[in-house]
Structure 1
């Protein structure tokens, strides 16, 4: 998804841009684990404090959340059919059963997926969790009243495009069946080998129909996880206490160590980092789920070994890049696109982000943190600071011997420094970038509409789960072009052969095989210079001195709040 820089990991909109974080064991990123001893057998007790910027104005309705494979805080009170494996590094990209007994039983062509529920599952009110509750939870996510979650099911499920949710004249979605209380079956209109990863989104959290309060459900949802909401004040606080009906015997992926979790919302980044640095009183038992360190604070930490030990680092599976609109001149000419690829100064852009501690240059669209789908390539080697001479040569061949002038669109709230760095770098190649900073509130609308989309855009794309499918399909599948708005295929690239290749890979249910082919496809598309990859963000975050078990996973790129301890 397109995302803004340095934002919360609670509930994300579908079109925004920037830089988050992910663990990258094996791909250059470091992870951090608190030095204090930790044992999952004795970690229960105490209160964990969370200091966040987010005001979470929409609350916590599972249908409205966009949590990228389990999210941060929602994972504490919502369980789903599957979830990510709660371990550090690359192994954290693996999808594992949660409410279900396995990650799903696919049909031969991966168009039908069957799940069976574990025995003994209960809501926080003591009632049994059934397949009907999961079906109802998924159906609610189709309602226009509860918009905000991932859009995949509307496209994937048979009849999903026309279904309006359970509150209308036709409340049932026939492509989801529940043969018995422990079985749920999904019928897809096309092959989707990544369905187990989608089943980790909060859309798949069970919702008891009798307790559904529609738009008001977001303030007090019925918990299926280890904690339940004791109180919630929008924009200010969220307090969680234990769900006495949750048991580790049915949930191997959440340790649920603290007895209580007190979350403060709407704090400033400076206040959060100052409090975590000082680590006094309750702040010694505190973490943040959405605030990274700025360059100045990082410089101070570098000279303070004690603070350095309390810093976790990672890189989210996201690429910031230049997007060409191939329907507009001069980017209908591949020679021009190649000239832009050669002229780019990635060092300047990395420095604009705060230096190598906060960003790493990228020459591939699939980032290194998509390990299995990452194939290294650099077809237009610009070196560290660009090759303006090669760019000028290509521009002359393309009919622009005296250079050219183009407008660069970007989100003024998040990418202004990057845009300025690019403007200065491209000037060396005779390319004049006219900076078009767009207000954050308008950026989504302008860039996502094929009628108003600029010729050149600075933006980012992040994977909803660790696979090449959600990374490449929305950007390069011609059938994903949305004319009315909400378009992610900014190149408006439509090659029937590539579309067919995407369909072929989607039929593969073996993860390693599929990722190898997604990597092959990325390398194939890279030769066309459809984008100029710039960097992947590296984020660093502090935690309190009493917090333990702060490993970083490689799915979301943050330490796992469901596993940290303060005891």
Structure 2
């Protein structure tokens, strides 16, 4: 689960912190993929001061930083104009299910090796997953921990204990035993924790975080935290076994702790190394304005169609907000047009009406509260009057950065038109997420969400399942509906993709009938690259460049 931030992390919560990879000069493996320019040093400029390379602690999106160094059982096939698909990576297929979806079996491809030439076996994958349970390794994506039998009490392998629900009958076969049927298991095994770690290695967690053992096309040559990470080619990676990585650059260098404005100015100027660079942080309104004024730079901008959903969550357990009619009135009272202007205008996003984000298979486009982008104040007032809630006084929890404050003020002004008084409660990022996911001292909260994997499951379950209220969960609307919980459970356990998608779409619309949130925009995210950077494209999902395909002109 992730909350979007200005960085590309794998994350979740937080979205993506980007790495810059540097690969050693001189060619790659003898079976490099064709159709992509080979060679050169690609620089990735990131504002991040700490990039975690340990798969047990990473929230990295499958197609970004960590995917250059580490492979997993499955991967993402993402292309502009197409919905995302799960495809085999280390495994021969996306998984064989049995026992009604509670058991999943995978077989490894032939010829897989670590950076030192030793074969990758299923024992290495089992060990890597077991490491993610260790109390000393926290912060990584953890969907699998509650799904694997015995995972709720397992504390990792460092004391010699194993997780029996992961079986490795031979070096090429791995079997997962789940507590319940889970149709999205093929997506989950694309997460960082499912990267192989040499059996018994990585006990020095700090050291492994800096230099994990590579299974992908690049390995870490050097890592100075907060300054630079250099990736060089892993000569034992074979393009014959890898359909998602093209390994174009000879080197990838992550330059960390960069100032966003300086990065934008450097890339706009497009001189020297900047020609071979791109920014890992998506551009804010100020940076976009700089790019707009430079036609050459504008041609080098990659902008997503739609990305993280930004929404105003309504605390369904607070006062008059417990009345569905009041929450529905807020759908008409909000001024989405002013909100989008505050967020940066048309380039900031497209108007949202559903909970499942575009680019995810099975999404249905609908609008239960169809009106102009500015809302329908008269209808909102009428509904509030009918509900006996004409004089609503509400508190809006928001972050205290300039962008969030401007967006919150737009919401505040829009609601005021309908006679609703809103007091802003700005907090720093850490306090904001703590109070939103653990507390109840707010009526409204400005929130955003980037699914961790391309399934409606990752849009719906973390945000609207009643089990995710409090305790750090992301159901910040405190939304409870037994029918929706049942739909989520049914969809989660449905193995047939088409059948599951219908259930997720049904849940989406049922939730919006209850109006626990006001969808605002699907945020567009724009990234800038130098003139020598090729294949710098953003698929329909996720709203980030696919690092695994980027190359340099030769």
Fold match (TM-score > 0.5): yes
1:215 matched to which residue of 2?
205
- Given candidates 247, 260, 275, the residue that maps to 2:266 is 275
Q: Give distance in 2, aligned partners of 1:90 and 1:564.
A: 18
Gaps of 5+ in 2: 19-32
Q: Give distance in 1, aligned partners of 2:344 and 2:419.
A: 26
Aligned length: 537
Q: Aligned runs of 1:63-82 on 2, under 5 Å? A: 63-68=56-61, 70-82=62-74
Gaps of 5+ in 1: 22-38
What is the CA distance between 1:364 and its match in structure 2? 1.6
What is the CA distance between 1:237 and its match in structure 2? 0.2
1:3 matched to which residue of 2?
3
Q: Give distance in 1, aligned partners of 2:78 and 2:437.
A: 35
**3-state DSSP class of the match of 1:415?**
helix
1:557 aligns with 2:551: no
**3-state DSSP class of the match of 1:368?**
coil
1:390 aligns with 2:389: no
1:35 matched to which residue of 2?
none
Q: Aligned runs of 1:368-383 on 2, under 5 Å? A: 368-370=358-360, 372-383=361-372
Q: Give distance in 1, aligned partners of 2:290 and 2:427.
A: 34
1:121 aligns with 2:112: yes
Distance of aligned partners of 1:377 and 1:219 in 2 relative to their CA distance in 1, 3 Å threshold:
same
Distance of aligned partners of 1:495 and 1:10 in 2 relative to their CA distance in 1, 3 Å threshold:
closer
- 1:303-325 alpha-carbon deviations (Å, 9 max, x no partner): 54432221111045421111122
Coordinate RMSD, CA, aligned? 2.1
1:97 matched to which residue of 2?
88
**3-state DSSP class of the match of 1:492?**
coil
- Given candidates 143, 154, 158, the residue that maps to 2:149 is 158
1:406 matched to which residue of 2?
394
- 1:454-484 alpha-carbon deviations (Å, 9 max, x no partner): 22211112211111111111122223334xx
Q: Aligned runs of 1:301-320 on 2, under 5 Å? A: 301-302=291-292, 304-315=294-305, 317-320=307-310
What is the CA distance between 1:13 and its match in structure 2? 5.4
2:484 matched to which residue of 1?
498
Q: Is contact 2:2–2:452 with CA below 8 Å preserved after alignment? A: no
Q: Give distance in 1, aligned partners of 2:67 and 2:59.
A: 12
2:11 matched to which residue of 1?
12
2:504 matched to which residue of 1?
518
1:47 aligns with 2:38: no
**3-state DSSP class of the match of 1:270?**
helix
**3-state DSSP class of the match of 1:266?**
coil
Q: Give distance in 1, aligned partners of 2:110 and 2:81.
A: 30
What is the CA distance between 1:139 and its match in structure 2? 0.7
Q: Aligned runs of 1:190-201 on 2, under 5 Å? A: 190-201=180-191
Q: Give distance in 1, aligned partners of 2:383 and 2:17.
A: 35
User: TM-score, normalised on structure 2?
Assistant: 0.92
1:206 matched to which residue of 2?
196
Q: Give distance in 1, aligned partners of 2:88 and 2:132.
A: 21
**3-state DSSP class of the match of 2:421?**
strand
What is the CA distance between 1:74 and its match in structure 2? 0.8
Q: Is contact 1:325–1:490 with CA below 8 Å preserved after alignment? A: yes
- Given candidates 532, 536, 557, the residue that maps to 2:522 is 536
- 1:140-178 alpha-carbon deviations (Å, 9 max, x no partner): 11112111111211211111111111123x621111110
2:318 matched to which residue of 1?
328
2:221 matched to which residue of 1?
230
Report 1 or 2 for greater relative contact order, CA contacts < 8 Å, sequence distance ≥ 6. 1
1:462 aligns with 2:454: no
What is the CA distance between 1:365 and its match in structure 2? 1.7
2:132 matched to which residue of 1?
141
Q: Is contact 1:286–1:547 with CA below 8 Å preserved after alignment? A: yes
- 1:104-158 alpha-carbon deviations (Å, 9 max, x no partner): 0011521111000001100001111000000010111111211111121121111
